[in-house]
Amino acid sequence: MPLFLAETLRIDNKSLKFIESQLESLSEKPTSTAEFDLSFNHKDFYFKCERVGINGTPYFFVTVTQSYKEKYRFNNTNKTLDTTFFQRIFEYLPLGIAVNKIDDNTTVYVNKKFEDIYGRKAEDLQNVSEFFEKVYPEVNYRKEISERILSDIASRNPEKMQWQNLKITTTSNEVKIIDAKNIPLYDHNFMISTVKDVTESYYAREELEQAKRRFDLASQATSDAVWEWDLKSDKLYWGEGFERLFGYKRGGDIVSKSFWESKIHPNDVHPFLNSLKLAKEDKNLTKWTFDYRFLKKEASYANVRENVIIIRNKEGKATRLVGALQDITKAVKREDHLGLLEKLVAGAKDSILMAKVHNDNFLDSEIIYANSSFKELFGYDSSDIIGKTPLEFYVTDKNKAGFTDLNKKLKNWDPVEIDLLNFTKQNVEFWNNLSITPIMDDQGWYTHWVVINRDINDLKNSIIKRQLLTQTHKIFTENMPVDALLIKVLQEIENQLGSYVNEIWLFDPYSKKLTKSVELKGGKVVDLESDDTSLFYKSVVEKIFKTNQPLITIHEHDIHLEEGINIKLSYAFPIQSHGSILGVVLLGFTHAYSREQSLRSIFDDFSIQLANEISRKQAENELTSFFEYAPDFMCIAGKDGYLKKVNKRATDLLGYSEDEFLSIPFLEFIHSEDQNEALETLFAASQLPGNQYTEIRLNSQNNNTLYVSWTLFRLQESDDVFCVGRDITDKAR
């Protein structure tokens, strides 16, 4: 605008900068009008600037009037505008613009864009009434539109003077769709009419709606889940099949691409997207197919096949994808089952059983086949188990609950994998990874179960050991008495191994005696004063302490504890580190966990860690007690100028609470004349080896001065300075 004014009015630079400042001010203020006088080229001018919004875009209208002897302004008796000036502006706008007088509806100005949109010359649009007759030839429609427009104009409310999707007719009888808006300038007796041709976008929306209706009909007519992806607008439409096949209710037709991708199996996402990208980029490709896994609403994955039609424009660029998602889960399962049968024929190294289906209860099926690897794992000949049911062969009191849960899942004919404890023919317990898969015949009936067994005992023991080591370290980071921490450790052992009796005996280096520290029985903490320890357990603990070796005992005669509780196996091991025994852990099991190597693999490293944790915690407790109850002033100073820890003697001497000591810079506790000495000594202690000595006065809370003799030092690999002070006030005075 300033450049335009400079070219047309030959305004000097100084005046031009002033006009620019006025326009900038107008754009920032809520007011829409600014008026000012300006002189240049030996002439006086009056400027009136107005900010007007057209279709959401702000425009500035500047009225310039030359003043002669008296400055000329618009008033109620002169409401004319320089149409030539407006014409210069309107010809540059990307909108159709017409200017009409408000009082007689005559047309003052029409720009070329206005003529192009309406398909009529300016002389054909000189009167408003004639204008309506020409552009709205259909009588009823003209009556409806003219009444609405004239009523909105008569309201004198600019907010009402905007109309969308009006159908007009050109001289050549071409029908167009327009958006129109009127901007009244009542002070100047002018109505500015703007118009925008939206025909193309209007019919594009109509076409999209029709395509959506066709899409909905197609999705209802097929058993597949039909979808459509408009690549231009990046909108993805789902049909009703997604609810029918996968359980997702539509909250509308459009879903986000991220929601769709989140349902693709994590291992399939990148291959899917890469393949789709290549398909879209191949200008000669019109069809694309891809198999992957799709997450259903109930949290299981369905195997699906994507069949997609790629719609391209004239240049070969993909503009739309129309796909049909087919659930091929059953077919994939059948292929998987056939693959398993092929492995059986070839002779698998895994221990494999095959059972004949009698009903939907896996445990009632009949075992009809066992491979040679089965005997190696379980110790049974095939003749020992053929004809039996899984219930008779697999289920024990110990794993019954696991098989009950497994059987519920198998009723849906889904493959199941689970880890359970099983026994060999020699009554040796081991962890069995059990994989059970149903097999379907050509008619779609499930006829057999394939059962694969794998010994994962070592893996399970490794997991249990790692869990015990991790949890024990975590437990000993808590600020609790040692006995309370040991109870938590025993609870973790019971949770991991299912031991019923859990005891920890500790050696007292002062009394030279081995005494029971804590006991857990059936998940409950035992009162040691009221509990009688069996003579057997006492003898086992004493033997472990002497031999420094773990001991497993299978009791020929169960140790009876209480009604229905009998200990069948005991395992005890020393708590030792660096050749020293701190105590003994004793466990009693109600089942024969009879693999000694399993227990040793779990507890050998655990024994060392437990000893280290106990030693560290005991030393920490002793150090804390020494620190708290030492007769001297003790504290730890940090690099940040604050104390990190003070003992009770410090609070007693100076009268401050521990919170006050830790939250106030330590220099505030030091006599002002000694603060530099204190800082220099602290710095020396932090940088030099050995001890630093000094005498520094402290201020007590009751304003007394204490004379303190200090020893300062720093431990290796620590930035903190340890300070020990002795009150020498009486001596110093």
Per-residue pLDDT tens digits for 326-338: 888 888 887 777 6
Model confidence pLDDT, tens digit, residues 181-219: 998 888 888 888 899 988 888 887 777 667 666 655 555
Residue 10: C-alpha distances to residues 2, 70, 89, 186 (Å): 11, 22, 17, 30
Residue 226's pLDDT is 83
Provide the pLDDT for residue 355.
Answer: 92
Q: Which of 200-209, 227-236, 602-611 has the lowest mean pLDDT?
A: 200-209
Q: Tell me the mean pLDDT in the region 232-242.
A: 81
Look at 253 and 378; give whichever has higher pLDDT. 378
Q: Which pLDDT value is given to residue 595?
A: 67
Q: What is the per-residue pLDDT for 409?
A: 86
Asked if 397 contacts 423 with a C-beta cutoff of 8 angstroms, the reply is no
**Of the ranges 87-91, 363-367, 430-434, 708-712, which one carries the lowest mean pLDDT score?**
87-91
In angstroms, rounded to a whole number, what is the distance separating the alpha carbons of residues 639 and 645? Answer: 13
The number of residues making up the chain comes to: 733
User: Phi then psi for 476, rounded to 5 degrees?
Assistant: -75, 0
Per-residue confidence band for 343, with pLDDT thresholds at 50, 70 and 90: low
Which tokens go with 696? 């520094």
Q: Quick one: tokens of 656?
A: 């401050």
Which pLDDT band holds residue 247 (cuts at 50, 70, 90)?
A: confident
Task: Answer whether 203-327 and 460-624 agree in fold.
Answer: yes
CA pair distance 352, 331, nearest whole angstrom? 23
pLDDT tens sequence across 632-683: 889 999 989 999 989 988 998 899 999 999 999 999 999 999 999 999 999 9
The β-bridge partners of 436 are: 416, 451
- With cut-offs at 50, 70 and 90, classify the pLDDT of residue 629: confident
Mean pLDDT calculated for residue range 687-693: 91
Q: What is the CATH number of domain 203-327?
A: 3.30.450.20
Does the pLDDT at position 699 exceed 70? yes
Among 518, 578, 592, CA closest to 548? 578
Sign of the dihedral defined by the CA atoms of residues 122, 123, 124, 128, in that order: positive
pLDDT > 50? residue 686: yes
| 212 in Cβ contact with 253 (< 8 Å) | yes
Residues 619, 621: Cα–Cα separation, whole Å:
5
Q: Report the share of the chain in percent with pLDDT over 90.
A: 27
| pLDDT greater than 50 at residue 518 | yes
Confidence of residue 223 (pLDDT cuts 50, 70, 90): low
Spell out the CATH class of 630-732. Answer: alpha beta
The backbone torsions φ and ψ at residue 704, rounded to the nearest 5 degrees and listed phi first, read -85, 155
The confidence score (pLDDT) of residue 83 equals 54
Which among 368, 464, 462, 451 is positioned nearest to 417, based on CA atoms? 451
pLDDT at position 71 over 50? no
Separation CA 40–CA 46 (nearest Å)? 11
Gap between the Cα atoms of 148 and 168, Å rounded: 15
Tally: H helices and E strands in the chain: 23, 30
Residue 39 — pLDDT band, cuts 50, 70, 90?
confident
Mean pLDDT of 92-103: 82
What pTM, to 2 d.p., does this model score? 0.43
Q: Which class for 690: exposed (0-12), middle (13-18), buried (19 or more C-beta within 10 A)? A: exposed
The pLDDT value given to residue 266: 93
CATH node for 460-624? 3.30.450.40
- Pick the range with the lowest mean pLDDT from 17-31, 53-67, 268-282: 53-67
Any idea what DSSP says for residue 127?
B
DSSP state at residue 252: S
Q: End-to-end CA distance of the chain, in Å? A: 88
Cβ neighbourhood burial of 399 (10 Å; 0-12, 13-18, 19+): buried
pLDDT of residue 73: 35
Largest CA distance in the chain: 130
Q: With contact defined as beta carbons under 8 Å apart, do 180 and 195 qualify?
A: yes
Domain boundaries, the chain: 1-73, 203-327, 332-454, 460-624, 630-732
Which letter does DSSP use for residue 406 in this model? H
Q: How far apart are CA 429 and CA 555, in angstroms?
A: 16
**328, 356 contact by CB (below 8 A):** no
Interval 397-434: pLDDT, tens: 778 888 888 888 888 898 999 888 888 888 777 889 99
3-state secondary structure of 582: strand
Q: What is the mean pLDDT of residues 57-74?
A: 60
What Cα–Cα distance (Å) separates residue 622 from each residue in 345, 442, 506?
Answer: 68, 76, 17
Per DSSP, the residues of 316-342 read S-EEEEEEEEEE-HHHHHHHHHHHHHH
CATH topology assigned to domain 332-454:
Beta-Lactamase (3.30.450)
What is the pLDDT of the chain when averaged over all its residues?
83
From 122-131, 428-437, 542-551, the region with the lowest mean pLDDT: 122-131
Confirm if 689 and 712 have CB atoms less than 8 A apart: no
Q: What is the mean pLDDT of residues 522-549?
A: 79
Cβ–Cβ under 8 Å, residues 212 and 304: no
> Residue 13's pLDDT is what?
81
Question: Average pLDDT for residues 440-457, to the nearest whole number?
Answer: 89
Range of lowest pLDDT (16-30, 176-190, 347-361, 704-718): 16-30
Q: Which helix (H) or strand (E) holds 672?
A: none
Q: How far apart are CA 722 and CA 187, in angstroms?
A: 86
